[in-house]
Structures are given as C-alpha cells and as structure tokens.
Structure 1
Amino acid sequence: MGKIITKIVIVHSSGNELAHGMAGQIRDWLFHEGRSARIVETSREAAPPAETWAGAEMILTLGGDGTLLAVARAVQDLSIPILGLNLGTVGFLSEMSPTDWRDSLTAILRGEYDMSLRLVISFHVVRRGQEFYKGYAINDLVISCGSLARMIRLDMWYGNDHLGTVRADGMIVSTPTGSSGYSISAGGPLIYPELNVFALTPICPFLHAFRPMVMPFEKDLRVLVRDADVDVYLTQDGQTGVVLAPGDNVIASRAEKPLNLIRPLHSHYAHKLKSKGFVRES
C-alpha cells in the first residue's frame, strides 16, 4: 500500500491529439475526485524546466514508453513516482490502458498500489581526461556504429577487472527495466525488473568471442573505444546521444536514486511477459 495521492502532473508529447484529448478528460475527472491536476506538454527538443514538477506527488504520462522514459530522465533527481497510461504499441512500462484507467486510478489515488524501484544508469563520457557528456539511462546505453555494419573495438572493465576486448557492431549496457528492449533482440537475457544488476550484450560480436553477461551493479563499468573507421554513437534509451571518438571512455554506474514506478496491485510481471508476447504458453 502507498500514500494517498492528491497532486498530479499529466504529461503528454506535443502534437499527440489523442493524448491531448485524454489528458483533458483525466484532468476533469481528477478535479471531480477532489485532486489537483495540471497538464504539461513535452517535446524531444527541450525538457520542461524544473519548476514544472513543483509539488507533484505523481506524474501520469500519456503515450508510449518513449514518453515515460523521457520524463523519467528529466525527473530522475526528484524521485517523483511515475505512472504510465499506454497509447503506444508495446507499452511495457505502462500500467494502464485507455479502457481501464478510471478503475485503476480510483484504486491508486486511495493508496492501493505498490512502488516498483528500478535501477537507473548514471554515466559520463571522459575525453582526454575531461568530462565531455553525462546523463541517465532508464533502459540502456548503446555504443554502436549506427546504421553502418562496421565493427568497432571496445575494451571493458568492471571495477579493476578487465572483462575483455571485443570486436562487434556495438555493445548494449542494459538495466533490468530495459532488458526486454534492444538487449533481448541482440540475444541478451530477460531480467526481473527490480534487481540491482546490469546486462552487457554485444551486438553481432566477431566469431561470437564475447557472450552476454549479467553482473551486479556494485562497481563502475568502463568501456573504452579503442578504434573505429566510422562514427561511433552513444545513445541513451534510444532517444538522445552523442558521437564518440577513439580514446573516449564511457563510465557507467548505478544512479544514487532509483526510478519510482507506481504499480497497481493487480499488476504482475509474469502476466505482463505473457500479454506482451515475451512468453508463449504451448
């Protein structure tokens, strides 16, 4: 059981007319239920200012997982619980649908929910001894050559332990939350979402010389870009990123604060895996 929620910020991407209409409908319903609610439109070009979230006890995102991920990164340091209503395709992170939101919200607003605490990756890129770029990743960090099928060479350390050098199309560093995304498509494992571990999954490694592995996030992971004859990209959650250069170090660790996702009491991980097609019953 959770605390009673009275102040909600409803977030949707600008230009999404379905989400815009539903946001107004939900806001009016929340007012009728005696709650405070306001609507915020976001865009990929610019994150909302910090004062956008002032006083919020819950953020309700309307859209797909991409909308929820962008909001989660923006409020990572604030520890505001997030609940997703899926208007996209897969919607693995979202707990509500357009058909059941009233029943789900009624229970959640009176405290009938659990909090799912998810590991978040905090990372920075070091170039010639200086921090060049930093951020958070909710799902994954991906080091790759983009659309070109060219191999890059990466060295990896876990703390002081050298994990190895790999030639591959790229490398995925995935949280348990993101294990059901790009990582599993590249042959990585599904991981229970509330574990404090990460998955290291190579993308098409040369001669299969590096196998996917799961490790506790107790030490920093360091990935050194050894060499590449094409541009190398670092992307976070498949949404934003930066171009890397040979000699760059990507250093990833477990963020100080977890992502707080609100989970209705009727939500179960095994059921979600089945409903999204990750597990098929014979």
Structure 2
Amino acid sequence: GDGSLLGAARALCRSSTPVLGVNRGRLGFLTDIRPDELEEKVAEVLGGDYLSEQRFLLEAEVYREGERIGAADGLNDVVLHPGKAARMIEFELFIDGQFVYSQRSDGLIVATPTGSTAYALSGGGPIVHPRLEAITLVPMFPHTLSSRPIVIDAASEIILHISASNSTYPHISCDGQTQVVAKPGDVLKIRRKSERLTLIHPLEHNYFEICRTKLGWSNRLGE
C-alpha cells in the first residue's frame, strides 16, 4: 500500500534509489501497478520503458531551549496535533522569519504536493500537482472561520512556536508513521529536504486519471 511506499521513500531517498510501487493496499495513489499485471509492467520497466519523476520530502526538527531534541522526515506531510488529548493547542506560525498568525486549533498539516491528496485533502486542503514546488499549510479545525489553507514556496522555512500556555504535550507526526512528542514552549522547524525520491511509473501513467479513479471524479460526457 501507499504506507509501505512512504516508509521506503524516507529510507531510499538518501541513496537516490528509484522506487516502483505495486498496489497491495486500498487507495494506491503512489502504487500504480496492480498485482495481476506485476510481471508485465516490471518487465517493461526493467526494459527501460518507464516514466521517472522527482518528489520532494519535508524534514522536521523539534528544538527545546535551543537544543534539537528530535527530527523526522515525511514524503506526504508533517502534522502538529494534540496527541491523545482531545484538546485544542495554541501556536504561532512564522514563514521565512515573518510572523503569519497565532492560532488555536487541533493542529496544522504541512503537506507536500504528494501529500495534498492524503490527510491534507481530508482537512479541506487543495490538490497540488506533484510537479509544483509548493507546500500547503492546512489548519485542523481552527477556532476561527477566517483560517484557510495557505500554499507557499517549497523553499520556505516554516517555524511553529508551540505556546508555553498549552496544558498538553503536542505530537509531531510525519506521514502518520513516525512521531516526536513536544512540550509547551518547544519550537518546530520544517523545511524541504535536500534529498529527493525518484518515483518510477509505467509509460501510461496519468496523474489526472488516478485522481478520477481514486477520488470518484466524473468521466467525460457520454462515457
């Protein structure tokens, strides 16, 4: 499934090893070869008939009183959330050193274009084509109706100051698979990772066809 590919992506991007996905899960946004066509499609790829694209990842670092206490990577997203406590958290957002807003909410989803069709989509974020160098910030149930998703340059540095007034210990989750537990007063820094994932597709790969199939979009009139 896509979850297996996310784990492989975080490990293999460091060595520039290309990744080809076979869908054994449910949705399969990233794993676009069906099990029944495995031999045929893999043979085509090994024969040189394939498409290759680069996908960027995010790296997250948590600082406590100036000292780094944890770090993790994500191909889909980095999510600040309350953890096991069903309570709002308060934080301040800075982009490239500029103050953006302070917010009370269930957290913030910071997503790559790859992750724009994952958790961020469920939170009301936009679908971002994977060729774009952009990062999406999607508030999770904010305590104000004026908070909306923001799309920024992928070269930006994102800093979240977790308010010292929080009564819970927020969690930072990457791809929903790795996490760092923060405490009130910690600082979360997120930036684009220097290493990239090389993702391999069969020649007939079509991003918008995948969106139609996986998201239930309508086909052309008359079809």
TM-score range (shorter-chain normalised) is over 0.9
Quick one: which of 110, 113, 120 aligns to 2:47? Answer: 110
Counterpart among 251, 254, 259 of residue 192 in structure 2:
254
Larger RCO (CA within 8 A; separation ≥ 6) = 2
Q: Quick one: percent identity of the two aligned structures?
A: 33
Residue 265 of structure 1 aligns with which residue?
Answer: 203
Distance 1:278 1:241 in 2: 32
Residue of structure 2 equivalent to 1:141: 78
Shift of 1:109: 0.7
d(CA) in 1 for partners of 2:75 and 2:50?
Answer: 22
Cα distance in 2 for partners of 1:144, 1:169 equals: 6
Secondary structure of the residue that 2:36 maps to in structure 1? coil
Aligned to 2:153: 216
Matched, 1:91 2:28: yes
Secondary structure of the residue aligned to 1:68 is: helix
User: Match for residue 240 of structure 1?
Assistant: 178
2:83 match: secondary structure: coil
Q: Quote the Cα distance in structure 1 between the aligned partners of 2:168 and 2:190.
A: 23
Give the C-alpha shift of residue 278 in structure 1.
5.0
Contact kept in structure 2, 1:158 and 1:219, CA below 8 Å: yes
* Equivalent residue, structure 2, for 1:155: 92
Superposed displacement of residue 151, structure 1 = 0.9
Change (3 A) 1:170 1:276: same
Output one character per residue of 1:212-250: Cα deviation in whole Å (capped at 9) or x when no partner: 011111221111111322231111000110111111111
Distance 1:278 1:218 in 2: 33
SS at match of 1:99: helix
Paired residue for 1:168, among 82, 105, 112? 105
1:71 partner letter: A
1:8 alignment partner in structure 2: none
Q: How much does 1:112 deviate? A: 0.8
Q: CA deviation at 1:262?
A: 0.3
Q: Which of the residues 9, 15, 38 maps onto 1:72?
A: 9
**If you compute each CA radius of gyration, which structure gives the higher value, 1 or 2?**
1
CA contact (8 A) 2:133 2:153 kept: yes
**What SS class does the counterpart of residue 116 from structure 2 fall into?**
helix
2:214 partner amino acid: K
Structure 2 counterpart SS, 1:119: strand
Aligned twin of 1:18: none
Distance across 2 between alignment mates of 1:72 and 1:88 = 16
The answer for the alignment partner of 2:125 in structure 1 is 188
TM norm structure 1: 0.75
Structure 2 CA distance, aligned partners of 1:77 and 1:90? 26
Alpha-carbon separation, structure 2, partners of 1:280 and 1:253: 36
Is contact 2:10–2:74 with CA below 8 Å preserved after alignment?
yes
Structure-1 separation of matches of 2:160 and 2:52:
32
**Shift of residue 132 of structure 1?**
0.8
1:203 to 127, 140, 160: 140
* SS state at 2:215 partner: coil
Q: Which sections of structure 2, spanning at least 5 residues, go unmatched?
A: none
